[in-house]
Amino acid sequence: MQKITALQHHLKQQQVDAAFITHPDNVFYFTGFRSNPHERLLGVFIPADGESFLICPQMEVPDAKEFFSGQLIGHVDTENAWDKLVSSFTVPVAKLAIEKSHMTVERMEFLESRIQGVTFSGIDDVVTEMRLIKTEEELVHLRKAAELADYAIEVGCSLIAEGKTEMEILSEVETAVKAKGADGMSFSTMVLSGLKTASPHGTPGNRKIQKGDFILFDLGVIVNGYCSDITRTVAFGEPTEEQRTIYQTVKEAEVKAVSLVKAGVFAKDLDKAARDIITSAGYGEYFTHRLGHGLGISVHEFPSIHGENDMALREGMVFTIEPGIYHPEVTGVRIEDDVVVTADGVEVLTKFTKELLVLDV
């Protein structure tokens, strides 16, 4: 309830009557209740002054009760959940704060039609700011999630063998990590081999591992609602000289960026440091994405670590550092760690080695 109280403080300052929070990750942040409502309505109503409530599908009320001690309102498929929401408001609402980056136009128009004279403001920045700095309790979950991500890479490497498919390895890795206590994966696990590594968002399939392949693992696990995200690229059999050069360039860029992390440093300077190394090596055109992204309840959240972000890092921010080179004719390589900004430097959550592993054929 502490987080709700903090939000109420902001609502009073902004002279808003209430906030209606609907992003499932934010609902989890404020209530501890995680649910994917699909197209159904899930939200927390938080008045500046007064009683908050959680509205969710009726069938989820028993589960929600275990996490949220406030009022619970269930809705069934045969009633209009939005009408029920509006009629449950615990205070009069003339100014309503919504997550403009999550609420759809349809839902806003619906609320507009049901709440006479209502005006909307965005609460996105306030919630983002709250979630940006992780508490020690959140860091405990993030450390555990990173530990399991390391374990998943270890398992993945042990499974590489000639003729095995990407999907076979992927499935066994997921099985192992779930058996070890992961609640689930942060996103669709990626196991890419050969030149498929050069597609930064490629799809694992039935391609069989061959001698000379690089194999790229990109995966994350969820522990107690918090995500990790790791990438490692390993060689199956002796790499070519250019493959080695690409690997070492990415590694150097990654290590450099990690070493610069510290409260007060600008996000864009991390991106620049890594990019400069890759560009100097002649591979600049093949590093086609930003350096990293925030990590927490969502696998992609603030801060965004890119070349135009002149935000100064602060203690408690958590994000990925993941430079890559995607050369369509040689190989793709990406190395990704999860880091926490500390007062005087950095805590690296993912610990799997970044030395080039050359696995025996």
Contacts to its own copies by CB under 8 A: 35-36, 38-39, 57-60, 62-63, 76-78, 98, 100-106, 108-109, 120, 122, 124, 167-168, 170-172, 174-175, 178-179, 181, 183-184, 187-188, 199-203, 206, 288-290, 299-300, 304, 306-308, 326, 328
Question: Shortest approach of its own copies to residue 175 CB, angstroms?
Answer: 4
Which residues, 6+ apart, have CB-to-CB distance to 142 below 8 Å? 134, 226, 227, 228, 295, 296, 318, 338, 340, 349
Question: Shortest approach of its own copies to residue 18 CB, angstroms?
Answer: 17
Nearer to its own copies, 60 or 347 (CB): 60
The amino acid that residue 260 corresponds to is L
Q: How many CB atoms lie within 10 A of CB 251?
A: 18
Question: Shortest approach of its own copies to residue 293 CB, angstroms?
Answer: 8
Contact (Cβ atoms closer than 8 angstroms) between residue 325 and residue 246:
yes
Dihedral sign for Cα 172, 177, 181, 184, please: negative
| N-terminal to C-terminal alpha carbon distance within the chain | 55
In degrees rounded to 5, what are phi and psi of residue 147? Answer: -60, -40
DSSP 58: G
Question: Shortest approach of its own copies to residue 127 CB, angstroms?
Answer: 13
Question: Shortest approach of its own copies to residue 330 CB, angstroms?
Answer: 15
CA separation for the pair 303, 313 (Å, rounded) = 9
CA separation for the pair 95, 115 (Å, rounded) = 10
Nearer to its own copies, 57 or 296 (CB): 57
Question: Shortest approach of its own copies to residue 204 CB, angstroms?
Answer: 9
Per DSSP, the residues of 133-180 read SPPHHHHHHHHHHHHHHHHHHHHHHHH--TT-BHHHHHHHHHHHHHHT
Nearer to its own copies, 186 or 356 (CB): 186
Question: Shortest approach of its own copies to residue 192 CB, angstroms?
Answer: 12
Nearer to its own copies, 225 or 237 (CB): 225
Nearer to its own copies, 90 or 165 (CB): 165
Nearer to its own copies, 5 or 175 (CB): 175
Q: How many CB atoms lie within 10 A of CB 19?
A: 29
CA separation for the pair 200, 334 (Å, rounded) = 8
Nearer to its own copies, 290 or 356 (CB): 290
The SS3 assignment for 302 reads strand
Distance of CA 228 to the CA centre of its chain: 7
Question: Shortest approach of its own copies to residue 16 CB, angstroms?
Answer: 15
Question: Shortest approach of its own copies to residue 82 CB, angstroms?
Answer: 13
Nearest to 141 by CA among 108, 102, 179, 181: 181
Nearer to its own copies, 8 or 22 (CB): 22
Nearest to 44 by CA among 11, 14, 13: 11
Nearer to its own copies, 185 or 356 (CB): 185
